Amino acid sequence: MINASPSETISADSQSMVQVIHANWADDHLHFWIEQCPDGQWWDRDAETDDNDTIIHPNAIIPDWIDGESSSVVLRLPVSADRPTPSQAFAMYGGVETEDHQAAGLSDVRVPTIAVKPAHVPALLESLYDRQDANEDFHVGPGVEYFAAASRLAEHLIAGHRFVPMVYQDAAGMLSGRWQPWLSDDMTTKRVSKLIRSMPAAARAVPDGHAHDAWSITVDFLSQVTDASCRRVMVSEEMTDTIDSIDPGMDQQVAWLNGLLGSGVEVPASTGQRAEISRTVRKWISELEDRGESSTWRFGLRLAEPIGEGLAMDIDQPDESVMWSLSFFLQSLDDEEVILRGADVWLINRDRIVYEGLTLENPQELLMGELGRASRYYKKLEDALDESEPIQLLIETKEAYRFLREVKPVLEEQGFGVECPSWWDSQAGRLGTKLRIDSDPSEMVLGEGADADAAGAQLGLGTLVGYHWEIAIGDTTLTLHEFEELAQKNSPLVRIGGQWVEIRPEDVENAISFMRENPGGEMELGEAMQLALASDSSQTGLPVTGVEATGWVASMLGGEEGVSLELPMLETPESFKGTLRPYQTRGLSWMAFMERFGFGACLADDMGLGKTIQMIALILHERNHAKGPIDPTLLIVPMSVIGNWVKEFERFAPSIKVQVHHGVDRKQGDTFVSDAQEMDVVITTYALVHRDNEFITKVKWGRVVLDEAQFVKNPAAKQSMSVRALKVPRRVAMTGTPVENRLSELWSIMDFLNPQYLGPSGTFRKKFALPIERHRDQVKMDKLRTMVRPFILRRVKTDPAVVSDLPEKLESKEWCPLTSEQASLYEGCVKQMLTDVEHAEGIHRRGLVLAALIKLKQICNHPAQMLKDNDPQHGKIIDPGRSGKCVRLLQQLDEVLSEGDQALVFTQFRQMGHILSNMLRHELGKEVLFLHGGTAQGQRQKMIDKFQEATGKNPILILSLKAGGVGLNLTAANHVFHFDRWWNPAVENQATDRAYRIGQTRTVQVHKYIVRGTLEERIDEMIESKTELAENIIGHGERWLTDLGTDKLRSLLALRADTISDEM
Amino acid sequence: MAEENKPSKPTAKKAAKKAAKKVTKKTTKKAAPSKPEAVKKAPPADRETKIIARPTLSANVPTAPKKIKPQYASFRSSRKSLTNPRRVRGGVKLKLKPDEQPSSWITQRLLRVAEDGAEGQINREGLEYARAGQTKRLTIEGTLCEGVIQGRSDKPYKTELKLNQFSVHDQEQIIHAMADQMRYAAKLLAGELPSNIEDVFAPLDLRLFPTEPSDLSPTCSCPDWSDDQPWCKHAVCLTALLAERLGNEPMLVFDLHGMPGQELIDGLRQKRAIGIQGPGPTPVLVPHIQGVTDLQSPPLEDQIDDFWSVGDELAELDTPIAPPPVNCVLLRRLGPSPFVGKFPLVGLMQTCYELIGQSALMQEEQSNGDD
């Protein structure tokens, strides 16, 4: 999302390529159309109308690469002054200003489309996502998202056999056969209602017979997609062969099948037959809706384990021949705890009883009638029907198993109550395999004399660990021999230590051969973890129910929160200038532990929790405990945070020797190598790791640290590949974004930290990324989380353990670099001003200085603010890559949003507010609110309300008001950015206090932006020095500067070297 | 409320059984919960519909005597003014007391129509007949409301009320108009009559509930009745009873117009399920799914601000492609083929299910499988 590297930067010209594809269901086809605005002038084009006076969408084109019919549809769309307004997605990605063009109402708008038949819809929808993944200017719109989810639901139902054959009838009485999704069952109903409730208005904008009704459109779509999918299989299997030889006139079933098994839907039947067929089919299918006689009581069956004489289980009797009882009962639907046993029902001699306050009419009739109904689904029950007062049925173990596996679900779906022993459907009753990993206790490995480096080098995911598989039921473990004995009983349900267990006949053989082939031994830890954490039953023949480890592997696998209790805790390093909060000490200990065992670790704490100082502490700790020379750490960071790192090292660990490898006069080749080897830390950027790869790799690094590790999110990018190629024993990644939710990022980071652990990226994408991202596959997501959890430490601000350690307000300065464009503008401006003031005096001179100061501040913000070369209010996208501050702001806001937080961004300049609002909307894909002096009162309140509602739709509010609009209450924000400075702490605090005030329940993080090497840094230094001059500055803003002599001006304003970025 | 309407006194065993059956049957049809548990945890809104549905249902019990004592009392006190009609045991009675306001606007409307038809003495006597239970039998069959009312003579009189019949064309227009207005459709599908339902009929030049005496075209076998003066006291009596009945069971009015309520609801469901437009084929069975079919989409106009956003719930929609826990579970629930033919329909269907399900699984595997 953030484009900070040169290769990914979007130039202002490329915006014409932004496309958002939409989908609408009309006339039995899914219609696709694309929103596109070639010249960026959305509002400048007048919309034409067709012969019916319908507006023709001026910014819609057809996706001509889609295979389908050229067509068009009329949509009721929001319009502003007869022009359709852009979709939210297009306004954001295409940078269309919408503030002054709020839609006033709906109008019919015609869009050209490609119409696709239901049969081709599922594959096509999927391919649109592939296209989106491959092309960053191509976006799927809400309609596509919706119909893709619906189409996926149809496939889900098809795979689960949740469809029925159906007959359709037209006005003339003609019949056709159709395959229909069956939506009336509980789980399906929940899914369908979720789907329908989330239907975007845009997806139901076609003014047709569906009357914009979500259910009507959706069910039509689902039906047609289902029929097409089923029919395709029928045709390819040539199912009509089965009925070809039979005259449909002789058998109505065959007539019906004629409309189901082939490509044609027609049901050949005479008039009389037609009525009969449709009546019969309707009656048959309506069986599914039969929920019994009573709406307040239901019939139920309870399966109970065999009970021997004296109420104890008969241990001696073979499992397969004991008898299970299936007893009947009536259960109230108003209160399911109210149950009347069959035996009691036959004792009632009245037609109507009140039991536990609930009325029951004709209990005996109900029991009998419902038993009869149940016997339709379970033939065995017919035996009970022969009795005059049936209360139960006795069945053998095999039958009991069949009942549990096959009959129970059918009865339950048909509205009967079924109760069974609690071990059924639970882990306790399920046979599984467990992996045991044995390793030495951590103390032994870390023990006194153990050489840290030597130990660390040997361990890691490649370490061989002892393992063996166990067959387990709940907590009980079985040997292979014991298991074989059980299997010989040839019974699907067996007793182990008095506990009944399901042994699926189909599992037994696989499990035995797997156990024989895998007697245990040693394997690489990484492989063992993959097996234990992510595998399914396909490899072992039995479900893998868990992993049990001893020794250091157990410490590493950790507890639920990631940090194991067994982790050896470290002290704050002696020379550390400051204090670590308790959770920071835990972070330091965890990273040290992971490194000792050779694992790459990812510190993913929320922004503001102090990842930087935990890292500094780690480096200090290592230096303090070193017994000999230690190889330097290579710290790879985005350009925009180099300054921050340098300042933090100076402040917290002045003893650490830090070298910045950056800038045009950076060291090269052997000089670099020999110098670097003498350093503790070398800081460089992602771009330079790639560019200077040749000699950077020659240094013997002790550790590589990636800050803002999401920079390697694109696994195929050259920078990412260079970074991953570094062969270094210790690897740490730092990121403030929730990596677990961004899968390509996660893969890249994990592959850097622990190569190959997640497999090749292509496999990972297919196995995890696609199912999770497109189809919300919860099982895969959970598996992946389990796999990566040991390597990621993520604490969030709201963690109770963290919250108690945090102050209410955290202030930090963000040191930003200048881009080379900014630097040359800056230098030019200073030079020009110094020349001009030579010959000026008095008010004129002051005027010149003031004007130049404003220009300099504008340049620091963004060159476009000074040059006015792109007008953000006319849809021009401003490239953030031209400003160090903007790049940093985007990074930080990205983290803010990913944490679900909200932010205020203050700037002195209204023009800059416009630039930011345009840029943020485009880059972050969120609506951005902008409140400035010219905002009308009503509009202002509306914005504040929107922001305070904190729905997640408007998480960013930019303010350019003087003093930040005293009196506003903006406590929905917990981040405050001062994009440029007032140089008056009182004014800035007043602004900060919009968020940091009564009603604020979270820690407020204040970020003050300062461009290094410029007057911003100089003034900041002066204020910090608290001198008389500082008083002056605070009291009078910039006016004091105008009185300075030329030399003083020069020394104050001149650009310091080594602060320029040449690679934004 | 529901309790009150159940037969409170044990009548003949058979009748009670029959009644109970009818009640339960109807209930299952109207308020059929998609799953039993759903009823228990149903939000208050659902309960409301349930309660509203109840009185409608119990009114189906033809001879259910309700609140017998107070009714008798009022009958006795006014008995003198009656010109000695023969007493009837267990007749159908008007429950509304003389000075009571009817709770339903429909009852009120019909009583007013009866008043317009016959004023003063005739009207008063007719209402007294109704309260006294002079009506031996009240049947609504098809389009006819028929009463057998005992007067002074030995033989009871036969009185009839009839509404104008909606033609096939009318019916189509009505369904179309209602389906178009989602608020009507949703209420009707939930078994309720929307309060402003008549707004739908006015533009069609039709009338749902009678507003003028002639709308009911009463006939009676009594000597007082004539074409010129069709409003005898028996007609008033029957109208009053019908008024109360319709108040409880408003959907009956459709039956009287020759458009059975169930057909209307089915028609609406079909329309909603497949779109109102066009003569396209419709499924022979469209199940009513509580919580889904009756879900009302907000008007597009209300969504201008978030016209292009997908609801949050979509992110929670999990749709795993997995084999069913039980093969062909729906087919098992359907049971044997309902057709007489010899072709092994169910066996073939099982093959179809397996092939179709397999194919879906294979596709998923292909897109998710390893390289």
Secondary structure string (H, E, C) spanning A627-667: CCCCCCEEEEECHHHHHHHHHHHHHHCCCCCEEECCCCCCC
Q: Do B314 and A196 touch (CB under 8 A)?
A: no
For residue range A337-358, list pLDDT tens digits in order.
889 998 888 888 778 888 888 8
The token duo for A256 is 């019906």
Closest residue of chain B to A245, computed from CA coordinates: B343
pLDDT of residue A1058: 58
Lowest mean pLDDT among A105-114, A224-233, A1037-1046, B136-145: A1037-1046
B25: contact with A, CB 8 A cutoff:
yes
Query: Which of B279, B328, B337 faces A161 most closely, judged by CB atoms?
Result: B328
Say if A693 is an interface residue toward chain B (CB within 8 Å): no
Chain B interface includes A744 (CB < 8 A): no
B355/A88 Cβ within 8 A: no
Residues within 8 A of A (CB atoms), B 102-161 only:
none
pLDDT at position A34, please?
97
Residue A70: strand, helix, or coil: strand
pLDDT at site B50: 35
Tell me the two tokens of residue B364: 């998923």
Asked if the C-beta of B304 comes within 8 angstroms of chain A's C-beta atoms, the answer is: yes
- Give the pLDDT confidence of B187-203 residue by residue, as tens digits: 666 566 776 777 778 77
pLDDT of residue A302: 94
Report how far residue A546's alpha carbon sits from residue A543's, in angstroms, rounded to the nearest whole number: 9
Residues of chain A within CATH 3.40.50.10810 domain(s) are 582-803
Contact status, residue B150 vs residue B82, Cβ threshold 8 Å: no
pLDDT tens-digit map of A737-756? 777 677 888 898 999 998 88
Average pLDDT over residues B87-101: 84
B contacts of A210 (beta carbons < 8 Å) = 275-277
Per the prediction, chain A carries an average pLDDT of 84
pLDDT-derived band at B260 (thresholds 50, 70, 90) equals confident
> Which residue, among A7, A10, A15, has the nearest Cα to A880 in the 3D structure?
A10
Which pLDDT value is given to residue A1029? 60
| Count helices and strands in chain B by DSSP H and E runs | 15, 5
Question: What pLDDT shows up at residue B86?
Answer: 81
Contact A184 B34 (CB under 8 A): yes
- Tokens 């000075």 -> residue: B99
**Could you count the other beta carbons within 10 Å of the beta carbon of residue A113?**
28
Q: Does B322 touch chain A (CB under 8 A)?
A: yes
pLDDT at A327 exceeding the cut of 90: yes
DSSP category for residue A756: T
Query: Does residue B347 belong to the interface with chain A, where contact is any CB pair within 8 Å?
Result: no
Q: What is the predicted pLDDT for the residue at A529?
A: 79
B21: closest CA of chain A, how far (Å): 8
**Span B327-352, mean pLDDT?**
92
C-beta neighbour count of B218 within 10 angstroms: 24
Distance from CA of B250 to the nearest CA of A (A): 23
A523 DSSP β-pair partners? A465
Instruction: Pick B56 or A610 by higher pLDDT.
Output: A610
Residues of chain A in contact with residue B278, where contact means CB-CB under 8 angstroms, are 209
Nearest CA in chain B to A103: B304
pLDDT(A617) > 80: yes
CA distance B256 to chain A (A): 25
Assign B180 a pLDDT band (cuts: 50, 70, 90).
low
The phi and psi torsions of A806 (rounded to 5 degrees) equal: -95, 140
The nearest CA of chain B is from the CA of A279 a distance in Å of 8
Tracing tokens 């548990």 back to the chain, one arrives at B37
Give the least confident one: A114-123, A220-229, A909-918, B253-262: B253-262
pTM of the model: 0.70
What is the DSSP track for A988-1040?
HHHHHTTTSSTT--SPEEEEEEEETTSHHHHHHHHHHHT-HHHHHHHHHTTHH
Residues 6 or more apart from B351 whose CB is under 8 A from it?
none
Q: Do B341 and A254 touch (CB under 8 A)?
A: yes
CA distance A437 to A308: 41
Give me the residues paired with residue A80 across strands: A83
Q: Is it the case that residue A373 has pLDDT exceeding 70?
A: yes
What Rg, from alpha-carbon coordinates, does chain B have? 26
At residue A975, does pLDDT exceed 90?
Answer: yes
**Per-residue CA distances from A438 to A286, A518, A520 (Å):** 58, 16, 11
DSSP code, position B83: -
Summarize the confidence of residues A1030-1058 as an average pLDDT: 70
Q: Cα dihedral sign for A99, A100, A105, A109?
A: negative
Chain A residues with CB under 8 Å of B330 CB are: 161-164, 182, 288
Q: Determine contact: A150 vs chain B, CB below 8 A.
A: no
CB A786, CB A533: distance < 8 Å:
yes
- Residues 920-959 (A) with a CB less than 8 A from some CB of B: 953
Residue in A194, A205, A214 nearest the CB of B317: A194
Neighboring chain B residues of A215 at a CB cutoff of 8 Å: 272, 292-293, 295, 297
Categorize the per-residue pLDDT at A145 as very low, low, confident or very high, splitting at 50, 70 and 90. very high
Q: Cβ(A977)–Cβ(A956) under 8 Å?
A: no
Q: What are the two backbone dihedrals, phi and then psi, of residue A329, each rounded to the nearest 5 degrees?
A: -155, 165
Higher pLDDT, A727 or A696: A696
Q: Tell me what the mean pLDDT of segment B145-162 comes to.
A: 89
Q: Give A424-480 as a DSSP string.
A: TTSGGGBEEEEEEEE---HHHHH-TT--HHHHHHH-STT-EEEEEEEEEETTEEE-H
Residue B349's pLDDT band (cuts 50, 70, 90): very high
Nearest to A829 by CA among A810, A854, A806, A847: A854
In this predicted structure, what is the pLDDT of residue A1001? 81
Per-residue pLDDT at A961 exceeds 70: no
Q: Regarding predicted confidence, which is higher, B325 or A546?
A: B325
The mean pLDDT value for A388-406 works out to 90
Q: Which two tokens stand for residue A78?
A: 């929001």
Enter the CATH code of domain A812-1061. 3.40.50.300
Q: Is B352 on the interface with A (CB under 8 A)?
A: yes
Q: What is the predicted pLDDT for the residue at B83?
A: 57
Instruction: List chain A residues with CB under 8 Å of B315.
Output: 776
Are residues A159 and B16, on separate chains, in Cβ contact within 8 Å?
no
Tell me, yes or no, if A356 comes closer than 8 A to chain B by beta carbon.
no
Residue in B137, B124, B138, B114 with CA at minimum distance from that of residue B249: B138
Q: Tell me: pLDDT of A257 over 90.
A: yes
Residue pLDDT, tens place only, B14-23: 443 443 344 3
**Closest CB to A334 among B32, B40, B299:** B40
To the nearest whole Å, the CA of B193 is away from the closest chain A CA by: 20
A471's CB contacts (< 8 A; 6+ apart) are: A431, A432, A433, A434, A477, A478, A479, A480, A482, A483, A511, A515, A542
Distance from CA of A102 to the nearest CA of B (A): 9
Question: Residue A331: helix, strand or coil by DSSP?
Answer: strand
Q: Which of A164, A216, A254 comes nearest B273 by C-beta?
A: A216
pLDDT per position as a tens digit, B230-258: 899 899 999 999 998 888 888 888 888 88
Share of chain B above pLDDT 70, in %: 68
Q: A1015 falls in which pLDDT band (50, 70, 90)? A: confident
Q: Which residues in chain A are closer than 8 Å to B361, comparing Cβ atoms? A: 159
Do A360 and A331 meet the contact criterion of CB atoms below 8 Å apart? no
Chain pair A-B, CB pairs under 8 angstroms: 353
User: How would residue A596 be classed by pLDDT, with cut points 50, 70 and 90?
Assistant: confident
Task: Please tell me which residue, B141 or B7, carries the higher pLDDT value.
Answer: B141
**Partner-chain contact B275 A220, CB within 8 Å:** yes
Q: What is the pLDDT of residues A115-130, one digit of tens each?
A: 999 999 999 999 999 9
Residue range(s) of every CATH 3.40.50.300 domain in chain A: 812-1061
pLDDT digits (tens, 9 = 90+) for A158-216: 999 999 999 998 877 789 999 999 998 888 999 999 999 999 999 999 988 788 889 88
Please give the residue that has the higher pLDDT: either A551 or A333.
Answer: A333
Mean pLDDT of A1022-1027: 72
Is the CB of A162 less than 8 angstroms away from the CB of B311? no
Is residue B61 predicted with pLDDT exceeding 50? no
Query: Any chain A CB within 8 A of the CB of B318?
Result: yes
C-alpha to C-alpha distance for A167 and A289, rounded to whole angstroms: 17
In terms of Cα–Cα distance, which of A189, A183, A294, A373 is closest to B32? Answer: A294
Position A188 scores a pLDDT of 92
Query: What average pLDDT does this structure show over A275-297?
Result: 86
Q: Which residue has the higher pLDDT, B40 or A931?
A: A931
Beta-carbon neighbour count of residue A837 at 10 Å? Answer: 20
Q: Is residue B73 over pLDDT 50?
A: no
In the chain, the amino acid numbered A791 is: F
pLDDT the model gives residue A121:
97
At A86, the pLDDT band (50, 70, 90 cuts) reads: very high
Quote the tokens at residue B177.
């108009």
Q: Please report the pLDDT score of residue A899 as a whole number.
A: 83
Domains of chain B, by residue range, sit at 68-267
Contact B304 A105 (CB under 8 A): yes
> B318 to chain A nearest CA, in Å?
6
Judged against a pLDDT cut of 60, whether residue A700 lies above it is answered with yes
Nearest C-alpha in A relative to B28: A295
| A632–chain B Cβ distance below 8 A for any pair | no
Q: Which residues are A24's β-sheet partners?
A: A31
Rounded distance between C-alpha atoms, residue B306 and residue B276, angstroms: 27
pLDDT for the residue A726: 87
What percentage of residues in chain A have a pLDDT greater than 90?
Answer: 32
CA angle (B225 as vertex; B160, B114 as ends), nearest 5: 60
Is pLDDT of B45 > 90? Answer: no
Please check whether residue B277 touches A, CB under 8 A.
Answer: yes
- Please, what sign has the CA dihedral across residues B179, B183, B188, B194? negative
pLDDT recorded at residue B164 = 87
Q: What phi-psi label fits residue B171: left (phi over 0), alpha (psi between -120 and 50 degrees) or beta?
A: alpha
Architecture of domain A582-803: 3-Layer(aba) Sandwich (3.40)
Residue A788 has pLDDT above 80, yes or no: yes
Residue A1013's pLDDT band, with cuts at 50, 70 and 90, is: confident
Is B300–A405 a contact, with Cβ atoms under 8 angstroms apart?
Answer: no
pLDDT at A14: 41
CA A298 to chain centre: 42
